Each structure stands twice: as structure tokens, then as C-alpha cells.
Structure 1
């Protein structure tokens, strides 16, 4: 990705050009891609930037399960729409099953895991949503502590594995206690989602088709990062969707011609996005969206932006090109923004709009569950210094 047209093509496919305005959350996620959730505010800002949705509407959609946070590709949690729930969960079963193997190495038999899963489901069906502490208390001796050796292997008890298996096949779901996606406190409740009816290969082909649509094209390696498919599985999925390859980039049939006819917008289109926004995270290639003259920029004396796998701050973006960085300072209730060049009126306007949105709807803008104002204060101070 080296020019304005390529940046704008990805921008367009991600719906950041205004094409998703007015759509509901499920429709937007289906069209532009699942949104990564790690206990931070990215899901909210992604939906606000593309469709103008406010937090109360998003929370209502979560409560109604028209969208939901589920463990899907790589076993990682994304927010996605209801039409994708069954087959997307199917893609995450391997990660759930891998934790069972850890328990086996710790001397836990499969029968014990299966029994705990069944007892967990029965408790949730009887008592309704429970947080992990109450659930563990209800299950009593059915949950086994695995001691120091288990802690070293990331499995202090048998309960998380049972919960993971139940989530992976849709028998339970994890719901935010206070209804918010950016505050990582959860309860579990019985669900009973119907299976997808697809084979594993069909599910892999389905997500490959969506992924290539969301990104506008990707390399084999980039698709593997997102899906965690083997080379053989990836090539089979690409063949199933009749993807075509051009200079190492795989695209859906027709997208090559669509790209040739595509014209980048002439006027500014400014967005403040999260560092985990799909524009960058789907292919994990944020540095590709930097102009050559900006690739060596850094703050706090760290290595250049072009050499970081993930951005140190949230990006300010114009038609796909990263033109600056920002953080939110909840103490001052303001966005602290640094642009590589003098900010235009359009940039200043969008900064003010996002600042008001965060202040009114979110209260803070956390990158992930353990993010805090204190942990990002140095970044905030560095951006303020860079402004000057």
C-alpha cells in the first residue's frame, strides 16, 4: 500500500467514507468487518465513525443480541452481527479445544471436563446469569484447583476451560454485567444457539470471502494472521471463493476491476479511530498507511512509527492515510491530538466532534481492559509536547 488510491480503497471498503451512515450496527458489521474487542472502547468508536451510532443504541443492540461479543477466529473476541454467530463461533472451536489439551497434561480426564461443562450449563439454566465467582461457588467441588503447576500453564482451575467449550458451541454466552462493551466485567448465561449446519471447510470459505470483501484484498500471510488457518486451509478457502491473485494480493472476483475504476475522494474525510480499528488490525499493517515522509516519526524517543507492529497511540486518518495521533485525557475531558502537519479546519472539527462523543457517551477512551488514565499519562504528555 503506497499511494492515495490504495489507502482510499481500503478506507472505502471499511465504510469510513460515509457509505455506512444510518445503517444499524449488525448491517454495518456485516459489511465492513467484525470489530476487535479487548475490554476497550474500539467497538463504540468504530460504530460511531462509520454509522454515527451512539453508545445507548449500541448497548441496546448488545442487550437484544442483534450484535454480540464472541470468541471467533483465533479464539479472539470480536463484536459481530447475529447472522454470523453460528458459523463464526465454529471458527473458534480449535482455540477452546486447545485448552482441554492443557488440562489433559495436568492430569484432568476428558470425562471430568465434560461433566463440569454439563453441570455448569445446568446451573446457568436454573439460576440465570452468574458472574464467575458466583458460578464457581454454585459448582462447589465440581471445579478443581490445579495448583501452582496449573497457574504456570494458565489454568488455575478447570472452570475456564469448561466455559470456553460451552461458549464455543453456543450453549452459553458471556454478557457484560453493566451492558457496556468497554468495561470488562462479565456474567455467563445459558443460550442454546443453533449449529450453523456448515462444514468446517465451508465456514473457512465463508470467512475468507468476508475478509477479502472487508479489506479489499490481502496477502496470504495477512489472511493467515486474521484467520489462523494453515497454508493448506487458506489456499483451499481462496479457491472456494474463486479469489484471484495479483502481485501477491488476493482479491474477490470483480474486485480487481472495481479497484481499477475506483477514484479516491478529492476532499478531506477525517476520522479519529482506535489503534485496533479494522482498517489496520484486519491485516495488522498500520505502517502501510503512513506517507513516506512520516514513516520515521516517533514520540517519547521510541522507534519510528514504521517499525512498530501496532501504533503507540490512536490514529487520526484522512481517506486512509495516517496524518497524526491522539489520546483522550479524562482529567481535562479533552482529546489531545498531534498532526504531522498543521491541522486543517476539517481536522479540528472532527477532533471536537469525537471529543464531545467520548465525553458524553463514554467518559473515557480505554484501549484495552487494563488501560487507565495513569498508564497513558506519558503518552498524553508526549502528544501535548509534540503539539507545541
Structure 2
């Protein structure tokens, strides 16, 4: 099992070897996995690289609730297809906001009774309208308590975020992006009248099995450690989650395992002979499902990436060729183009893919932030380094 074959098979599982505009945004996420959302352009780049979808089509899918940004695996936010809303919410429970509640109770004098009163009031206030956090706080008045300097040190200024987080993971509230865009973090909250968790019967353990099933379907061959990193589960819970899947090793002594139905297709798989370039987000599913970049790099390129950002997450967005990371890129709003550098000799096809992606960003996004705090100003050193090395 050569590295080139494995990488190309991973790219195939991720929908990165052919562009499928016939697939809806919802179907893209069902087939290739939930798109990590951190207030950046990642969800848009995910769809564009796999199906050529641009912001209008994706925003319409958001407005229809075909896809939605939800607390999901590890309590992190992902853009999820409708068919997985309930599973994502169930898998978010016990992470993120739950840990913040425990901190607030332990160190800041917050009680369950206090949070329950506030939660009931939030649901009452949102009975007939959507409100942003500032408007919610005004309506709730003294029911929202400041947690003072000690809370601020722990990243908690008031009790309101604790309740909003809990009501989201239980499916009673949902956040809707103001303006309908996924590449910002301005939200209004609305009651979820037809909550996807209503009637959802899977236990926590059963939900973890379904998450594992999806993970290995999306990712292709992966290790137990890869699934742990994605799911946030411990060793024991991860082993229990994958046990019903009857995973098979891809080769003797390999830590990589795959679903039984993927084993023969993997063995028969022949990578494309010519390059298939894609420009994707730094947290694209191809990288995020593994968090082990050396598997996606040529050995000669490992030291280059290690020197600038380590081997867990990339310092910039990625250029791929058949699953191999062959370069890095950033969008430069000042010049309205992409600054990029490749580990390979650029050819006409690579330059065309760079321009295709740049044109989409110019026309539909205006920028391609990696995450909410990324800005054109903070990006300038990375842009300069890429142009110098391009």
C-alpha cells in the first residue's frame, strides 16, 4: 500500500478527485463529512472544492435548514446535513459548554437552579422571535448575572452563554447566522420548535457507534487515534464505538483500519495518472479527520511544514494534488488574488485552479479567513512569506 495510493484513496473518499455540481450541499456533507466551522471560509471552500458550489447556493441551503451549523463532535461547531442534525447534537453533549458549566459551578458560585431559571426565561423570551445575545441580555435583565473579574479570567463574563450553550446541545435553541453567511460569527438565537432530538432514540454509546461509522466512511483508512482526535472520546469509549464496525487493517501491522466494504475497493483502486489540484481550507476534512499531516506530505516536504507550523494543523490553507499537500495559500484582499507557494514545480493546471478559486472568492466571499479572528492585517506576514517562496 504505497503512500501515493493511500493519499489518493483518501482524496477519493473525500470527493476531491472529481467535481460534482450535481450533488446538493446537503449530499456533499453526507458523503464526505461535516465541515468544520470556526467563523472562516472553510464551509464554503469545502463545497466549492467538491461540487463547485458558491455562496448563494450554500446560503440558500442554510436558509432552508438543509444544512446547519451545530455543536457536534467534541462540542466543536460543524456545518452538518439535515440527516445528521440529531446525531451531531447528541455527540456534542458532555463537551465544550458542559465543561464550562462545571467550571462555573466549581469556581464562580453558579448553581443548577440559577441556570434552570435563566434557561426557562430564555425560552420564554424567544417564544416568538429571534434575538442576538445583546438583545437577549436586555430582555432578561437581572436574570443574567455578571461573573466578575474571576469569571473573565476563566473566559466567562456572564451566565447567559452557559445557558445558550446548553440549550443548543439539547436541541431547544439554534443559532441562525445574521445575514445568512457562514464565514462570520454574528448570530441570532431562535427556538427550535421541531427539534431534531425529539424522538431521537439512540443512547450516548449508540450515537458514538454511528459517529464512528460515519467517520470511517468519510475518511477511508484511519487509526483508532485518528478517530479519538476527531470524536474527543477516550481510548475505552473509542474502542467500544468502533467494535461493531468490524474494521479491517489495510495491511499487516498497520495501525490504519477500514470498513470491510472498503477493503476490496482500496486494493483495486488506481490513482489518477495526471494531477487533480484542489485548493481547500486548512481545516478541510482531508486533514481534520487525521490530524497527522505527515501522512499527506511527501517525506521531503515534512521538514518545511514542520518548520513553519508543526504537523497537526497547517499555518495556511492547503493546495492538494490527489490527496497530497503540495503547497499553501492565502487570499490577499488588498490585491484581490491568492498568494501561494508550492512544493512542486507549478504547471498550467495548478495555475488555473488557483485562479478559479481566486475568482470564486473575489465574486462571492470577498475574503477567505481561516477562522473568526483572522484578518487581512494579521495575514500580511503569511502572504509575504508565500509570495517570497512562490
In terms of mean alpha carbon deviation, does 46-55 or 287-296 score higher?
Answer: 287-296
1:112-261 to 2 correspondence within 5 Å? Answer: 112-126=114-128, 128-192=129-193, 193-195=195-197, 196-246=200-250, 247-261=254-268
CA distance in 2, matches of 1:308, 1:241: 29
Where does residue 22 of structure 1 map in the other structure?
22
- 1:3 aligned partner: 3
| Separation in 1, partners of 2:354, 2:270 | 26
More deviation, 273-282/239-248: 239-248
Quick check: 2:62–2:180 contact (8 Å CA) kept in 1?
A: yes
Partners of 1:157 and 1:308 lie apart in 2 by 37
Cα separation, 2, equivalents of 1:154 and 1:275: 26
In structure 2, C-alpha distance between the alignment counterparts of 1:244 and 1:324, rounded to whole Å: 32
TM-score relative to the length of structure 1: 0.95
Q: Distance in 1 between matches of 2:258 and 2:326?
A: 27
Residue in 2 aligned with 1:334?
A: 337
1:37 maps to which residue?
37
Q: What is the CA distance between 1:304 and its match in structure 2?
A: 5.3
CA distance in 1, matches of 2:316, 2:19: 26
Alpha-carbon separation, structure 1, partners of 2:340 and 2:361? 14
Matched, 1:317 2:320: yes
Once the 2 structures are TM-superposed, how far is the Cα of residue 102 of structure 1 from its aligned partner? Answer: 1.7
Alignment of 1:281-296 (within 5 A): 281-296=288-303
CA distance in 2 between partners of 1:6 and 1:21 (Å): 25
SS in 2 for 1:229: coil
CA displacement at 1:184 relative to structure 2: 1.3
Shift of residue 258, structure 1, vs aligned partner: 1.8
SS at match of 2:318: strand
Count of equivalent residues: 382
Aligned position for 2:90? 90
Which position in structure 1 is the counterpart of 2:59? 59
Deviation at 1:243, TM superposition (A): 2.0
Asked whether the equivalents of residues 2 and 288 of structure 1 are also in contact (C-alpha less than 8 Å), the reply is no
Q: Distance in 2 between matches of 1:112 and 1:20?
A: 50
CA contact (8 A) 2:3 2:295 kept: no
CA 1:318/1:194 → structure 2, altered by over 3 Å: closer, same or farther? closer
User: Aligned-pair RMSD on alpha carbons?
Assistant: 1.5
**Could you list the runs of 4 or more consecutive aligned residues of structure 1 that deviate by over 6 angstroms after TM superposition?**
none
State the TM-score, normalized to the length of structure 2. Answer: 0.95
Instruction: Tell me the residue number matched to 1:366.
Output: 369
Asked if the contact 1:22–1:52 (Cα under 8 Å) also holds between the matched residues in 2, the reply is no
Deviation digits for residues 319-340 of structure 1 (CA, Å, limit 9, x no counterpart): 0111111111111101112122
Alpha-carbon distance between aligned partners in 1 of 2:327 and 2:239, rounded to the nearest angstrom: 37
Q: How does 1:339-358 map to 2 (within 5 A)?
A: 339-358=342-361
User: What's the CA shift for 1:244?
Assistant: 2.5
Query: After the TM superposition, which of the residue ranges 14-23 and 313-322 deviates more from structure 2?
Result: 14-23
User: Which stretches in structure 1 are left out of the alignment for 5+ residues?
Assistant: none
Whole-Å separation in 1 of the counterparts to 2:267 and 2:21: 25
Of 371-380 and 194-203, the range deviating more from structure 2: 194-203
